Amino acid sequence: MATTSAPQPAATAARGLRPPGRRPWSVPLAVVLVLAGVFATGAGLGSTAGPFDWAAGGGQERPARSERGGLSASRPVRLSLPAIGVSAPVAPVGQARDGSIAVPPLERADETGWYDRGPTPGEPGPSVIVGHVDTRRGPSVFYDLHKLRPGDTAEVARADGSVVVFRVDSVERFPKDRLPAERVYGDEGPAGLRLITCGGDWLGGRTGYADNVIAFATMLSSHPQPR
């Protein structure tokens, strides 16, 4: 499997949080977003639709957080998926120069990436965390993502000392050219989580794997991190 490196991410806001006043999924309409890096050849996800595609296709701006409840913003620092034995650091990833979502470099393939232009976990709307499925060296952080089942939990520790617990609602696989962008990015409901990696057949070339595997989860609760 090739190990094409992702472009360097754009600079992120201090401490990985959105600058004041930025709405979730800020949308420069001149840019068409594709997910790259872990979505690129050998690293997993291949190109697919993203939040900018959704917005350009008629998605509406989300209401401000104060209108919809939920937790205040605080960047995620660790993700735990007990059912598949994952406990991994989370680093903020922004927008790469080509408009794609930047991702952790391949030499840190056991690290996940939170897209810092969307909601933080616990804020209203879908928070997106991406991860490599594999590299030349073998399985990576989201290698077993497809094994999650409805009712399994995802726990996200945040920089403010809280832990947000999500319940997995479904784990689904989609051809990369038919990703349901509105389900992934356009939900205006309560706090949710989207975990994304690759799956399906290996096609090689710029496509890599044929499909995307996405775990959809809904927030259950939050509590302080144990000391």
Taking 70 as the threshold, does the pLDDT of residue 23 lie above it?
no
Is residue 48 over pLDDT 60? no
Structural domain contains residue 89: yes
- Residue 88 placed within a domain: yes
150, part of any domain: yes
Count of the separate structural domains present in the chain: 1
Q: Is residue 208 part of a domain?
A: yes
| HSE-CB for 82 with a 13 A CA cutoff | 9
Q: Residue 67: inside a domain, yes or no?
A: no
- Percent of the chain surpassing pLDDT 90: 43
Instruction: Give the C-alpha separation, 29 to 155, whole Å.
Output: 33
| pLDDT higher than 50, residue 193 | yes
Give per-residue pLDDT as tens, 103-120. 788 889 999 999 888 899
- Structural domain for 165, as ranges: 26-60+75-224
In the predicted model, is pLDDT for residue 127 greater than 70? yes
| Mean pLDDT value of segment 69-73 | 83
pLDDT exceeds cutoff 80 at 145: yes
pLDDT for the residue 49? 41
pTM of the model: 0.75
| Residue 152 domain-assigned (yes or no) | yes
| CATH code at position 149 | 2.40.260.10
Note whether residue 90 is domain-resident: yes
In a domain, 99, yes or no: yes
User: 190 exposed, middle or buried (CB, 10 Å; 0-12, 13-18, 19+)?
Assistant: middle
Q: What is the pLDDT of residues 151-169, one digit of tens each?
A: 999 999 999 999 999 999 9
Q: What percent of the chain has pLDDT over 70?
A: 65
In the block, residue with structure tokens 């995802």: 154
